[in-house]
Structure 1
Amino acid sequence: MARQLFGQFLDQEIDRDTLIGRLQEMELQLQADADDESEDDNLDTRTLRIRVFGGDTLGMSIREIGQDLEDLTHPNAQILLRGIAFGLAEDELEVHFE
């Protein structure tokens, strides 16, 4: 689903706020599912980490992606957009829940 969302964003079918909102919905659903499976009373604190391409060892949080894409003329946004495009083209974009 994340790949589809990033593809739609690159194709300008959805805007930044929609991208970030849907990624946050995915994260909340995964957290809720993990809480349902957990036997203890601790809420799941794992979050989505998105690796946009294979060389990206740490990945980015949804908040970091949102910040970088806030101003599409900023160099960080341009680098991220190229990374997303490359990751999608090379099938390297990965979503981790950790």
Structure 2
Amino acid sequence: MPHQPHYSPMARQLFGQFLDQEIDRDNLIGRLQEMELQLQADADEENEDEDEIESTRSLRIRIFGGDTLGMSISEIEQDLQEPTHPNAQILMRGIAFGLAEDELEVHYE
């Protein structure tokens, strides 16, 4: 899961704004989707000489250091759908921890 150091600070800022209630869940998801589209465009430019380009690549957010799989945008959206659900509360704590420890990262696989 290749780390995308250029995009990680932007994701940390978005998640920080979300935790501070400066943006809502829909805004967070929309901006993450824009980031994913930009990553796809960047990958397409790098691979334009190749005959076959994989379209199955996606943005993954590694919330904290021990998170080996990361989360897709749709998984984040689903977990945050109902703020009182335990999954949402666990994810929010994970995001807060990842931001506090500077471990939240963007990956593209």
Settle same-fold status: TM greater than 0.5. Answer: yes
Distance 1:97 1:49 in 2: 6
Q: What aligned pairs does 1:22-33 form with structure 2 within 5 A after superposition?
A: 22-33=31-42
- Corresponding residue of 2:69: 58
Q: Deviating runs (4+, > 4 A) in structure 1?
A: none
Structure 2 CA distance for partners of 1:96 and 1:46, relative to 1, 3 Å: same
- Corresponding residue of 1:2: 11
Letter in 2 for 1:76: N
Identity %: 83
Report how many residues are paired.
98
1:40 maps to which of 50, 59, 77:
50
Q: Tell me the TM-score normalized by structure 2.
A: 0.85
- Corresponding residue of 1:16: 25
Q: Which has the higher contact order (CA 8 A, sep 6+)?
A: 2
Unaligned runs of 5+ in 1: none
- Corresponding residue of 2:99: 88
Cα deviations by residue, 1:48-69 (Å, 9 ceiling, x for unpaired): 1111111211110000000000
Q: Tell me the TM-score normalized by structure 1.
A: 0.95
Letter in 2 for 1:18: N
Unaligned runs of 5+ in 2: 1-9
